[in-house]
Amino acid sequence: MSSLIRNNVTAIIFSLAVHALLIFLLVSSFDWAPKPQLKVNKQNIVKAVAVDANKVKAELDKLKRADENKRKKDKDRVAKLKREEQKLKKKRAAEEKRLANLKKKRIAEEKQRKTEQANLAKLKKQQADLKKKQAADEKKRKAAEKKRQLEKAKQAKLKKEQDAIKKKQALAKKKREAEKKQRQKELAQQLAAEEQARADKLAQSEIDKYQVLIRQKIERNWLKPPGELKSLISIVEVRLIPGGDVIDVSIVRTSGNLVYDRSAERAVRKASPLPLPQDPAIAAKLFNFKFEFKAE
């Protein structure tokens, strides 16, 4: 038993507590409130005394009248209260109405303000649109003006050209007459010039041909050094005398590889005399030129 208690101490305590609470509640729930008792006014304890019936009735009537008066008073009071209440109610209603009106007024004012604002905005927009329109109109006007100006200029130009043409025509006419005279003179000259051109062309083709011959002779005589030669370029300048003998060979641009440069120089010397055109005038064009040695 004691062990049981020891093992369940908490439970026991708890149950005791709950019981206590329940008991407390139960007790407290009893209605201790005093029942409505008749107000027993100790001073008014009626002593039972034999009394005259009329006196009693008069007394009763007095009481009744008093009672009625009271009741009437009360009624009046109540009515008065009621009247006051009504008055108040009315006042309140009036007040509420006033407030409502005020509210309505305010709403109306607000609405009006908003409409005024809208109107203002509308007005502003209208003004802006107007401004835009004015600007656009201005632009249009300006463009139109410009166009007009261009047209004007064009017209002026055209007129100028026409005038120039007219002038030219007049000049041409004059010239033609002068040319007629000149042409005879020039015909003779022209024939001479054509002759010259033909000679030049021949000379050029001669030069071209001998370039090839010279190149071939150099190639036959160029003993290339062994090894990788790509990207090596030597430029050799030569001077010849009539007959084709090379009198001067110089390296004007070295390849960076001395052996390569010398092989180029040697090739030119070995190829001397270089082939030259027969005509001394044409040959003279080849007295000074360069070789670019660029092994492939």
Partner 1 sequence: MKLGNNRQLTSFLLMLALLLSFTTPASAVLTIQITKGVDGAQPIAVVPFATDKLTKPLPYDLVSIINNDLARSGRFSPMPAKDIKTIGSPHDGGTVRFGDWRLVNMDYLLVGRVRQTGAINYEVQFQLFDVFKGEQLTGISYPFVARDTRRMAHRISDIVYEKLTGQRGAFDTSIAYVTALAGLNNKRQFHLNIADSDGFNEQTILDSSKPLMSPSWSPDGQQLAYVSFEAGRPQIFVQQVFSANGQRQRVTDFPGLNGAPVWSPDGKYLAMTLSKSGNPEIYLYQLATKQLTQLTKHPAIDTEPSWSPDGKQLVFTSDRGGKAQLYRVRLSRNKPASRPKRLTFEGDYNARAVFSPDGKLLAMVHGNRGRFQIAVLDLSNNALQVLTDSRLDESPSFAPNGSMIIYATNRNNRGVLAAVSVDGRVHQRIEVQQGDVREPAWSPLSQ
Shortest distance (Å) from residue 194 CB to partner 1? 26
Spatial distance between the Cα atoms of 237 and 243, rounded to a whole number of angstroms:
18
DSSP character at residue 230: T
Q: Is 291 in the site for partner 1 (CB under 8 A)?
A: yes
Spatial distance between the Cα atoms of 31 and 52, rounded to a whole number of angstroms:
45
Shortest distance (Å) from residue 288 CB to partner 1? 7
DSSP codes joined into one string, 237-287: EEEE-TTS-EEEEEEEE--S-HHHHHHHHHHHHHHPSPP--SSHHHHGGGS
Q: Is 258 in the site for partner 1 (CB under 8 A)?
A: yes
Phi-psi region of 239 (alpha: psi -120 to 50; beta: other; left: phi over 0): beta
Q: Which of 188, 227, 231, 281 binds partner 1 (CB under 8 A)?
A: 227
H-helix or E-strand containing 2? helix 2-7
Q: Is 240 in the site for partner 1 (CB under 8 A)?
A: no
Q: Is 231 in the site for partner 1 (CB under 8 A)?
A: no
Q: Which of 76, 186, 219, 279 binds partner 1 (CB under 8 A)?
A: 219
Spatial distance between the Cα atoms of 262 and 224, rounded to a whole number of angstroms:
10
Q: Is 239 in the site for partner 1 (CB under 8 A)?
A: no
Nearer to partner 1, 203 or 235 (CB): 235
Q: Is 288 in the site for partner 1 (CB under 8 A)?
A: yes
Q: Is 293 in the site for partner 1 (CB under 8 A)?
A: yes
H-helix or E-strand containing 233? strand 233-240
Q: Is 203 in the site for partner 1 (CB under 8 A)?
A: no
Shortest distance (Å) from residue 223 CB to partner 1? 5
Spatial distance between the Cα atoms of 203 and 229, rounded to a whole number of angstroms:
36
Q: Which of 232, 264, 276, 283 binds partner 1 (CB under 8 A)?
A: 264
Q: Is 232 in the site for partner 1 (CB under 8 A)?
A: no
Q: Which long-range contacts (CB under 8 A, 24 or more apart) does 241-250 make?
A: 241/287, 242/276, 242/280, 242/283, 242/284, 243/273, 243/276, 244/272, 244/273, 244/274, 244/275, 244/276, 245/272, 245/273, 246/271, 246/272, 246/273, 246/274
Shortest distance (Å) from residue 199 CB to partner 1? 19
Q: Which of 83, 97, 175, 269 binds partner 1 (CB under 8 A)?
A: 269
Nearer to partner 1, 169 or 250 (CB): 250
DSSP character at residue 8: T
Shortest distance (Å) from residue 250 CB to partner 1? 11
Stretch that binds partner 1, among 12-20, 62-70, 155-163, 213-221 (CB under 8 A): 213-221
Query: Residue 267 to residues 232, 240, 277, 285, 293: CA-CA distances in angstroms?
Result: 16, 15, 21, 22, 10
Q: Is 265 in the site for partner 1 (CB under 8 A)?
A: yes
Spatial distance between the Cα atoms of 160 and 163, rounded to a whole number of angstroms:
5
Shortest distance (Å) from residue 120 CB to partner 1? 41
Q: Which of 206, 214, 232, 283 binds partner 1 (CB under 8 A)?
A: 214
Q: Is 224 in the site for partner 1 (CB under 8 A)?
A: yes
Contact residues toward partner 1 (CB under 8 A) are 211, 214-215, 218-227, 235, 237, 257-259, 262-267, 269-270, 285-286, 288-296
